[in-house]
């Protein structure tokens, strides 16, 4: 029996969804990004200035943001 | 006197439990209510009707094949199927197809009730094309009846045989004249100690009624049965298997784009509607008999066939992890074998939850243009048991990613309600979009039915989670810098 949404499903047969980072690499990438965040935060704590806020704070925040998402997925809480 | 309010609050709590228990059998179906004077118009007649009742499983499955003829002078498309009010709330999965053209799919059916005093309600079947005068059409009507089998005797010994009784009308209830009809009953075995014998003069061929052929009994044929006629009959047959009834099933499917994962969790509230134990449960007797693995009215294990690629299964109940389970990955299916903590005898209950993960790529596809995704998942995955399982209420929740909009769905499982809500959980800011579907009176035969959901999920919504965490972390850096820049030294400020 054919329904409109079943036709939509069949039409998209060639494009199954794959995440940009595979399940197996999530832990490695998450740990790597969190480590970078930790290192940059460490350097920032040694030299707190208005210049180091964007130079170190922004990449550290970005690394922590993406690293936290991948790490929480890697430990089984799929957000 | 302090005990009085305590007593009254206890009473109130108990009464709420009683109400909750009673509500389980209330039909949730929204229905059209007609005045009690309503009589279905006599525009059809049943030329030939054959009803097959299959009692192989722990619930009766009815298949009515009927040739209907329009006896009116105008084309007609509304066929009424009557049920008693107490029965209609337990009828599930009613589907009507054209017997000769099943590929066309199911016809539209709806419940029509009369006002409160009436004991009869109807399923109204809409024929897709009105039937012209004097034309005939063959309908195939299938449905299951839940909680319809009563154990007789109601109490048996621990290793005793169980017998179930089924009461029905030998004349298939109809609001139209039926020219010729018969009812066939298929039992799980030939052990049928009691059954109603109907007088031979009712039978069109004046034969003994019912006719027996192994494990199949036939009531009829009967000629020219008037509309609304009933002739009650009962059968009692051996069924030494558990009568598994899930009073409620909650099933959650959680889609994670970041994790590329589809997480499933099912929460069951099972009860065995079979015969109760006449004596105390004897663990020694149970353990001794297990070596022989005899047929038993107790529920000992449940087999859940999961799709290949399923990983990380878990099985917990109110106490915690249940270690008596096996997970057997295979090429065709991954079998999850569950063993409850105790054998579930008649009248006993067991509630538990199972869950597993799977790769999202099997279930989710992205459309070529736009940010639209299409998800195809099984509506029901539960255990596959030879005795079958009946589900009184099913609550399915498809939890989509945060920011998913324009949710549409399609399924051929009969539903009673559907809503879209917000589900808030880990790392959420605005909450995830959840599609909630409610169904009642389903049976395990609906396992293979699919649910297809489409939704829009712009890439900007996908980045909400890491960006929110990034901004939070940046705020920590900024606050650290601001607080670190405050001069808290005592004395005059230094001049630079």
The whole-number average pLDDT for the span B286-293 is 88
Give the count of beta carbons closer than 10 Å to the beta carbon of residue B100: 10
Instruction: Decide if B469 and A22 are in contact by the 8 Å CB cutoff.
Output: no
In sequence order, which residues have a C-beta less than 8 Å from that of residue A56 and are 6 or more positions away?
A40, A41, A43, A44, B477
Query: Would you say domain B32-238 falls under CATH 3.10.100?
Result: no
The pair phi, psi for residue B203, each rounded to 5°, is -70, 135
Yes or no, beta carbons of B366 and A11 under 8 Å apart: no
A61 interface with B at CB cutoff 8 Å: yes
Do the Cβ atoms of B260 and A19 come within 8 Å? yes
Provide the mean pLDDT of chain B: 88
Q: What is the rounded distance in angstroms from the CA atom of residue B232 to the CA atom of residue B118? A: 20
Among the partner residues A1, A8, A49, nearest to B412 by beta-carbon distance: A1
**Chain B CB within 8 Å of residue A8 CB:** yes
Tell me the CA end-to-end span of chain A in Å, nearest whole number: 35
If pLDDT is split at 50, 70 and 90, which confidence band does B433 have? very high
Task: Give A32→chain B minimum CA distance, Å.
Answer: 16
- Candidates A61, A66, A77; nearest CB to B477: A61
Domain(s) of CATH 2.60.40.1730: residues in chain B:
244-273+301-339+347-464
- Per-residue model confidence (pLDDT) at position B220: 82
Chain B hits for A22, Cβ within 8 Å: 260
Nearest residue of chain A to residue B313 (CA atoms): A76
> How far is residue B393's CA from residue B21's CA, in Å, rounded to a whole number?
13
Confidence of residue B56 (pLDDT cuts 50, 70, 90): very high
Q: Which of B371, B435, B477 to mutate to test the interface with A (most CBs of A within 10 A)?
A: B477
Whether the pLDDT of residue A60 is over 90: the answer is yes
Residues B176-209: tens digit of each pLDDT: 999 999 999 999 999 999 999 988 888 888 888 8
A4 in contact with B, Cβ within 8 Å: yes
Among the partner residues A13, A61, A72, nearest to B426 by beta-carbon distance? A72
Q: Tell if the CB–CB gap between B260 and A41 is shorter than 8 Å.
A: no
**CB < 8 Å to A58, chain B:** 474
Q: Which one, of B199, B326, B355, B203, lies nearest residue B267 by Cα?
A: B355
| pLDDT tens, position by position, B308-319 | 999 999 999 999
Q: How far apart are CA B83 and CA B275, in angstroms?
A: 27
- Residue with the two structure tokens 């059809």: B44
Tabulate helix, strand, coil % of chain B (nearest 5): 15, 45, 40
Q: Exposed/middle/buried for B211, CB within 10 Å: 0-12, 13-18, 19+?
A: middle
Nearest CA in chain A to B455: A5
- How many angstroms separate the first and last alpha carbons of chain B? 78
pLDDT at B139 over 90: yes
Contacts of A54 in chain B (CB under 8 A): none
CATH class of B244-273+301-339+347-464: mainly beta
Tens digits of residue pLDDT in B148-161: 999 999 999 999 99
pLDDT reported for residue A29: 96
Beta bridge partners of A60: none
């Amino acid at each position: 029996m054919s329904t409109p949404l079943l036709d939509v499903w069949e039409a998209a047969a060639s494009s199954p969804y794959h995440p940009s980072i595979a399940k197996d690499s999530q832990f490695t990438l998450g740990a790597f990004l969190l480590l970078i965040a930790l290192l940059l935060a460490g350097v920032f704590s040694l030299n707190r200035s208005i210049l180091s806020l964007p130079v170190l704070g922004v990449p550290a925040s970005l690394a922590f943001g993406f690293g936290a998402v991948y790490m929480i997925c890697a430990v089984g809480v799929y957000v | 006197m302090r005990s009085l309010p305590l007593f009254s609050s206890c009473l109130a709590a108990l009464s709420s439990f009683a109400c909750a228990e009673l509500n389980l059998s209330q039909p949730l179906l929204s229905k059209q209510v007609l005045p009690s004077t309503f009589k279905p118009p006599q525009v059809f007649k049943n030329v030939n009707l054959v009803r097959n009742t299959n009692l192989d499983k722990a619930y009766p499955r009815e298949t009515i094949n009927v040739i209907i003829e329009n006896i009116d002078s105008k084309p007609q498309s509304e066929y009424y199927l009557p049920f008693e009010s107490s029965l209609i709330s337990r009828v599930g999965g009613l589907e009507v197809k054209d017997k000769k053209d099943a590929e066309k799919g199911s016809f539209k059916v709806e419940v029509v009730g009369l006002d409160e005093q009436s004991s009869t309600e109807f399923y109204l079947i809409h024929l897709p094309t009105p039937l012209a005068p004097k034309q005939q059409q063959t309908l195939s009507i299938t449905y299951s009846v839940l909680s319809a089998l009563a154990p007789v005797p109601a109490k048996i010994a621990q290793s005793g045989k169980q017998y179930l009784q089924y009461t029905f009308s030998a004349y298939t209830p109809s609001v139209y004249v039926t020219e010729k009809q018969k009812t066939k009953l298929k039992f799980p075995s030939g052990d049928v100690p009691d059954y109603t014998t109907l007088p031979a003069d009712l039978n069109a061929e004046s034969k003994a009624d019912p006719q027996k052929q192994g494990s199949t009994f036939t009531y009829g044929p009967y000629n020219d049965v008037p509309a609304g006629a009933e002739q009650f009959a009962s059968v009692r047959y051996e069924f030494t298997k558990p009568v598994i009834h899930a009073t409620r099933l909650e099933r959650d499917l959680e889609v994670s784009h970041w994790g590329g994962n589809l997480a499933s969790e099912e929460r069951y509230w099972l009860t065995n509607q079979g015969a109760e134990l006449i004596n105390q449960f004897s663990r020694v007797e149970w353990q001794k008999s297990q070596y022989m693995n005899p047929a038993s009215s107790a529920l000992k294990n449940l087999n859940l066939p999961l799709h290949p690629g399923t990983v990380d299964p878990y099985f917990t109940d109110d106490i915690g992890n249940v270690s008596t389970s096996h997970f057997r990955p295979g090429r065709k299916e991954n079998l999850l074998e569950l063993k409850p903590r105790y054998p579930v005898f008649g009248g006993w209950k067991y509630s538990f939850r199972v869950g597993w993960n799977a790769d999202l790529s099997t279930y989710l596809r992205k459309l070529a243009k736009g940010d639209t995704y299409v998800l195809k998942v099984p509506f029901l995955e539960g255990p596959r048991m030879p005795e079958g399982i009946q589900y009184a209420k099913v609550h399915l929740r498809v939890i989509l990613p945060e920011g998913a909009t324009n949710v549409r769905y399609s399924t051929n499982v009969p539903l009673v309600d559907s809503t879209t809500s917000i589900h808030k959980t880990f790392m959420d800011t605005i909450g995830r979009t959840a599609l909630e579907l409610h169904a009642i009176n389903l049976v395990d035969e609906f396992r293979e039915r699919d649910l297809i959901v489409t939704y829009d999920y712009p890439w900007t919504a996908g980045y909400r989670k890491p960006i929110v965490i990034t901004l939070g972390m940046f705020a920590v850096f900024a606050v650290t810098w601001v607080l670190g820049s405050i001069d808290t030294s005592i004395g005059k400020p230094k001049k630079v």
